[in-house]
Chain A
Amino acid sequence: MTETIIGIDLGTTNSLSASVFEEGPEIIGTAQDACMVPSLLSRTGNGWLVGEEARARLISSPTNSVYSVKRLMGRGLEELEEEIRELPYQVEAAQRKLVKIRLGEESFTPQELSSVILSRIKEKAEKLLERTIEKAVITVPAYFDDAQRQATRDAGKIAGLDVVRIINEPTAAAIAYGLDEKKQGYVAVYDLGGGTFDISILELKGKLFKVVATHGDTRLGGDDIDRVLVTLFTQSLLDQYPNLDLEDPSSRQILRKTAEEVKIALSGSMEVEYILELPEKRIKHRGQLKADELSRQIEPLLKRTFDSCAKALSDAGLKHGDIDEVVLVGGSTLVPAVRKGVESFFGRTPHVAIDPYKVVAIGAAIQGHLLAGGRRDFLLLDVVPLALGIETLGGTFSKVITANTSLPAEESEVFTTHVDQQTSIEINIFQGERELVQDCRSLGRFKLRGIPPMKAGFPLVEVTFRVDSNGLLTVSAYEKRSGTEAQIEVIPSHGLTQMEIDAIMEASFEHAVDDFNQRQLIEFKQTAERVFRGIQMNWKIAEEILDEDQRFSIQKQMEIVKQKMTSEDSQILKAELDALGNLTRPLADSAMGRAVLEELQQQNP
């Protein structure tokens, strides 16, 4: 049997996992108990609450709770200004260009927070599949750059998962559909998720799947529909209570939660009645909303998605009519207005055979199955999504690998020094499509040392970019005239170093030890109390069968155990409990003997 590589859709609002079974690919578990976790977290004194169990705390303890952590993955504070303003939790700058989320006294990187969700998924999958899971294919939005992909990989690593492949969400959806229906031709995948919009056009030909164009908007998604609704609710509340302040975290959460519920309800009916309850303000407000009104309000949002679609088509050199199939992904595509809009834009009825919530995880599971050696009848040809290159003189971006190059890829460029006798060059690695590095994403930098001193322009430094089939970038360099091999230190700008990952893993391991200690402490205290009760109940027997010294030792040891019960170390308590057990053994033996004897007498009158 091949090993199991599960597929995980690590989403902005929900995360879920699928696997390939004998009957085919499916979400792990049953409809009642599926391997699905809302992407919510809450920090308590005793550790994490994850998923559904954290939901209530979004409202009761908003500053200790986190949602939409995916939006922060692999990004710096300066890029996140707009997002942060919308979030009730605190985001702060950390080392390099990393951010951390402050929850009470502690702060965590987005990678750590995502790893908590992944750990939960892993645990659940293991329980449901009854086997250990070590490897996974995780999906990310098509527009994710290298730093964001790396952050996702690191989150997996922290959760104890070997992320054997990162694939694009729309690509995963196309795999699930294409293989399900044996389709050929051009497939457009329209993905409107919680926080982001993606359009991808894939070509399915023979056994090869190839992404021919992607476009997207990182700040457009179901949350924006919620926001439109929140604005409507706020207006409706302010009409009635003109001086109401709705900016506090708790009110914002209540408005957001109601908006989500109303949106979902409107997918199934023409009109919905809602109640806004703000207990802190002693307000219970009723209102109603028509589906038509929502459609009208989200029109501008949809227009933005279709602008992206048009760009993707033109990048692929295709016309609307060339698209053979349209696939919908993401919970927001359940909104009827969205479906109608997509249908009229492409002139084709979109596919809805596979649940848009599940399709991405299922596609990832199919890719996992292939990587595990389970099938070889299709192949996903992945490409470099955005050009990779280095900074050259004057802050210009010099591309080494261009966008859409098939993976695995390798390219070299030769560069030189600008100053006489220069013995080292700093190489700054960027990703993007623009002319100046200031408009591209910084992926990291490294220093090439040990160049023999020469006149400026004389050294020939060959910089080689390699991107393996898993999308992992490695950059190396050597000076050709002297043959000096470069010493390379890659310092990720938005990512974690291996040392940092190790430290987090160790800390979470220590944490696990802590948790274990806590549980044992509780257990041993309970045992101690039971033992005390037993001794008291049998003290009469003790007076009969034990001498005074023995009884004194037991009483002294009981005092010691009582004292240790207030300590925090479960192992010390256990040692003293064991000692008490040894002292009371003769008593226990005889107490048991007597109980047995009494029982025997009852049975034989």
Chain B
Amino acid sequence: MSEEPSHSRCCERCGTELVSCLFCFDCSSLQPLSPSTNYFYALGIPDGFELDLTLLEEQFRQIAGELHPDFYMNSSSAEKKLSGRASTLLNQAYDNLKDSFKRATYLMRLKGKGLEWNERVLPPGFLEEMFSLQEELDAMLEKQDQPGLKRFQDLLDKRRRGLESGLIPLFRMLESVKELEVVLEQLQMKLNAERYLQSLLDRIQVEETT
């Protein structure tokens, strides 16, 4: 899979340079989908981990307001299908870029193509700490210790935010260093740790809704 030269394609119909690879705002036409659509290009925003969330939201609204299958109910079946697929892709792009951990994962997959993805690497000492946290959580769930659970949730949230703020310098480094692998492994550790924290958080939320 070759990386698409992002953000530089022209409309299939009128030839205007496209802001989003999904839709031409100049001649209001749906664009054919490529198998490796770049999420950033789908939303018409610059690549990179640090992004303007307001712009992301604005672009999503603009593009969704044109692509949606509701506007193609009376079109040809090919167009109907295309608008459905393009909208699905736009939704996926938006969901993946909006959340910083999902965005980081997506970017890593783009940058680290061909590298073995190690699901298990974790920051040193993290797992041991999590085991003891997990035991603590089990006990609190057992006792239905609501104030305790709330405190625990805040603690996990804080840890998660800590991981999040650690992502920015790593992505900046990724732009400047040659040894991508080292930085990527650091990123991977943080993302794996976040998934772990999230699974603990999910358990608390589950108990809250019962």
Interface residue ranges, A against B (CB under 8 Å): 2, 164, 205-208, 370-373, 376, 379-381, 405-410, 433-435, 439, 466, 468-469
Contacts and interface: CB of A to CB of B under 8 A. Distances in A.
Contacts of A371: 70, 73
Interface stretch (B16-24, B38-46, B86-94, B183-191): B86-94
A412 B177 CA distance: 34
B107 to A, nearest CB: 20
A577 B143 CA distance: 85
Contacts of A381: 64, 68
Given A207-B65, A405-B91, A373 B74 contact: yes
A375 B35 CA distance: 32
B64 A379 contact: yes
Contacts of B71: 376, 379
B52 to A, nearest CB: 17
A466 B89 CA distance: 12
Contact of A408 (B61, B87, B95): B87
Given A206-B65, A409-B91, A372 B206 contact: no
Contacts of B74: 2, 372-373
Given A208-B61, A372-B74, A434-B210, 16 more contacts: A2-B74, A164-B73, A205-B61, A207-B61, A207-B65, A208-B64, A371-B70, A379-B70, A380-B70, A381-B64, A408-B84, A408-B87, A410-B88, A435-B203, A466-B88, A469-B84
Contacts of B68: 379, 381, 469
7 pairs of A and B residues whose beta carbons are closest in the complex: A469-B69, A406-B91, A408-B88, A373-B74, A435-B206, A410-B88, A371-B73
B34 interface: no
Contacts of A410: 88, 92
B198 to A, nearest CB: 12
B209 interface: yes
A293 to B, nearest CB: 36
A408 B209 contact: no
9 contacts: A208-B65, A371-B73, A381-B64, A406-B95, A408-B84, A408-B87, A408-B88, A433-B206, A469-B68
Interface in B86-113: 87-88, 91-92, 94-95
A469 B87 contact: yes
Nearest to B58: A206
A206 B65 CA distance: 9
Interface of B: 61, 64-65, 68-71, 73-74, 84, 87-88, 91-92, 94-95, 202-203, 206, 209-210
Nearest to A407: B91
A208 B74 CA distance: 21
Given A206-B65, A207-B65, A408-B91, A434 B206 contact: yes
A370 B92 contact: no
A407 B71 CA distance: 14
B18 to A, nearest CB: 21
Nearest to A378: B65
Contacts of A379: 64-65, 68, 70-71
Contacts of B88: 408-410, 466
B61 A434 contact: no
Contacts of A407: 91
A522 B115 CA distance: 83
A405 B69 CA distance: 16
A434 B203 CA distance: 9
Nearest to B92: A410
Output the residue of B64, B69, B74, B88 with the most chain A CB within 10 A: B88
A395 B64 CA distance: 37
Contacts of B70: 370-371, 379-380, 469
B69 A408 contact: yes
A217 to B, nearest CB: 14
A434 B209 contact: yes
